[in-house]
Structure 1
Amino acid sequence: MVTSMTGYGREEAGNGQVKVFAEIKTVNHRFCEYTIRMPRQLLALEEKVKKKANQYIRRGRVEIFLTVEGESLVSKKVKIDYDLADQYVGLMAEVKDKYKLEGSITLQDVLQLESIFMTEEVPAVPNDLEALFLQAVSGALENLKTMRAHEGQELALDMINQLNRFGEIVATVKKHAPSVVEKYKARLEIKLAELTDGLIEESRIVTEAAIFADKCDINEELTRLESHIRQFSGTLNENEPIGRKLDFLVQEMNREINTIGSKANDSAITKDVVEMKSLLEKLKEQVQNIE
């Protein structure tokens, strides 16, 4: 099955107190690369989320967004820096004694010292929050899988159409190729006859035609192209990531086309080569989207 690397999945889960959301987006990438954004209080779940995602995704750039609505994941607690408070109160007493000031140090005086009070955030993560997050992530991954599979089917249909047309052109070139030598031989006979007033040796024409035939022989390249087409078509039915294999086949097909273009001394074949290159470019673009 052909699977696209591009997709999106979203899911939510809740327990009445909190509701969690998981959004997953994937795009093309040569390898598998993750970016996970989630509340810092839940960073311990990152590896579990990634492990779950690895069951669905083998290749692509993956962005995972996890958010929470409802009860706060932290509680605040006020603390007093008693060491600092002791210093303040001690200094107040010294100032009072040194300058013979009236009155006493009161609670109000201490409360005005804002620097001795600190607010501390304490994690307050519900016990079932991890299960809710993993539930949401699993649902989002299933939705992502469905979308990637659907887009993959569309890509496969388009590539099959391109591949069929490509095979038709290869068959046309293969059928036309033998006539290239015959046409060259005929032109050669006419040219030599003009230059020698009709006094030409048949053996020379045969030799020159044989040399030309050897230089422009593209049977080997056409045979390999036919093999690559069969491999490409068969690979589309494999139940595993196939993007890299298809990319390799496209490169090999391009190599054979370039060789045919450089060898074939014929305008019709040159035209077919141009069309094959155009089709191959479209196939290459599609292959870049496949996992």
Structure 2
Amino acid sequence: MIHSMTGFGKSTVQLPNKKISVEIKSLNSKNLDINTRMPSQYREKELEMRKMIAAKVGRGKVDFTLQVEITGDETSAKINHEIVKAYMYELRDLANISNAENAKLLEIALSLPDAVSTEVTEVDEAEFKAIQNTIQEALENLNAYRKDEGLAMEKDFKHRIENLQQLLEEVIQIDPERIQNLRAKLEAAIEDLKTKVDEDRFEQELVFYIEKYDITEEKVRLANHLSYFIETITAAESSGKKLGFISQEMGREINTIGSKSNSANMQKLVVQMKDELEKIKEQMLNVL
């Protein structure tokens, strides 16, 4: 079963004095790329959190956000009184503002750098265990989302492969007539020359020439690739890179059939096959 690389997962835990929320969003990418956003006091645990994400996500561009909301009376934020006073003094002097407007000055001063400092403390082990459980739940939600997206993609892939198999069947049906028409054209061209030819030698050259346009091997290989593609998307594990390799091989066989076809009707079928394959390749970029 295939999985999409696009997904979203969220989970929240309420601790005695704080509420912690985890959000994980993933998009398609060739490799694993994790971007994290979290309060500075949790950075010491970032490596462990990244390992948890990497083990579950596998591949994709991942945005991880850890938010903390203080719900108790305790807070680690402290106002730097001396710095705030200095800011207010400078602002009052700069703008010639009266003492009556101190409230407005205080609001501005508190928004300036270093006006408020946060005491960095070590993360409690019990708290980090709760965070790990929350991350795990968010990852499960993310993978459930990816699975649902994968089911929709699998349905579309099967539809496209069925279309390709039908087009290949039409190619197989018109192939004998194509060879007969090619042979007839060559024989007519010899007749127009109004000259005698060695029949045996002509037959040998004709067979050799027609063999250059034979697509028997391409038809067999393309049919095998289509079957292998279906087998791969229904396998237990998702493998976007493997499907990408198979689709490349499918493209090679379709291109070769097109270059050898020498038939307007077959060329139309080849164009339709290329269109279906292109739609598959577009979707393939998002397969895990």
TM-score range normalised by the length of the shorter chain = 0.7 to 0.9
Indicate how the Cα distance of structure 1 residues 126 and 260 shifts in structure 2: closer, same or farther if over 3 A, else same: closer
The structural deviation recorded for 1:132 is 2.7
In 1, the alpha carbon distance for the partners of 2:201 and 2:35 equals 71
List aligned pairs for 1:149-228, cutoff 5 A.
149-196=147-194, 202-203=199-200, 205-228=202-225
Question: Which residue of the partner structure matches residue 96 of structure 1?
Answer: none
The structural deviation recorded for 1:55 is 3.1
Indicate how the Cα distance of structure 1 residues 208 and 119 shifts in structure 2: closer, same or farther if over 3 A, else same: closer
Checking the alignment, whether the CA contact within 8 Å between 1:37 and 1:64 is kept in structure 2 is: yes
In 2, the alpha carbon distance for the partners of 1:41 and 1:152 equals 37
Q: Which has the larger radius of gyration?
A: 1
Question: Which residue of the partner structure matches residue 37 of structure 2?
Answer: 37
In 2, the alpha carbon distance for the partners of 1:147 and 1:276 equals 31
In 2, the alpha carbon distance for the partners of 1:2 and 1:136 equals 26
In 1, the alpha carbon distance for the partners of 2:8 and 2:137 equals 12
What CA deviation, in whole Å up to 9, does each residue of 1:78-120 have, x standing for no partner?
Answer: 8x9xxxxxxxxxxxxxxxxxxxxxxxxxxxxxxxxxxxxx997
Give the one of 139, 142, 146 matched to 1:141. Answer: 139
Structure 2: 5+ residue stretches without partners? 83-114
The structural deviation recorded for 1:162 is 0.1
Checking the alignment, whether the CA contact within 8 Å between 2:40 and 2:120 is kept in structure 1 is: no
In 2, the alpha carbon distance for the partners of 1:73 and 1:229 equals 62
The structural deviation recorded for 1:49 is 1.4
What CA deviation, in whole Å up to 9, does each residue of 1:261-291 have, x standing for no partner?
Answer: 1111111111111011101000101111100
Aligned residues: 253
In 2, the alpha carbon distance for the partners of 1:119 and 1:138 equals 33
Indicate how the Cα distance of structure 1 residues 152 and 119 shifts in structure 2: closer, same or farther if over 3 A, else same: closer
What CA deviation, in whole Å up to 9, does each residue of 1:119-145 have, x standing for no partner?
Answer: 975334663331232222112111111
List aligned pairs for 1:29-178, cutoff 5 A.
29-70=29-70, 74=76, 76=78, 121-124=118-121, 127=124, 128-178=126-176
Structure 1: 5+ residue stretches without partners? 81-117
What CA deviation, in whole Å up to 9, does each residue of 1:247-274 have, x standing for no partner?
Answer: 1111111111111111111111111110
The worse-fitting range, judged by mean Cα deviation, of 22-31 and 47-56 is: 47-56
List aligned pairs for 1:216-255, cutoff 5 A.
216-255=213-252
The structural deviation recorded for 1:11 is 1.0
Indicate how the Cα distance of structure 1 residues 126 and 190 shifts in structure 2: closer, same or farther if over 3 A, else same: closer
RMSD: 2.4
What CA deviation, in whole Å up to 9, does each residue of 1:23-51 have, x standing for no partner?
Answer: 10000000111111111100122122122
Task: Detail structure 1 runs of 4+ shifted over 2 Å in the superposition.
Answer: 71-78, 118-129, 187-195, 199-209
Question: Is 2:37 aligned against 1:23?
Answer: no
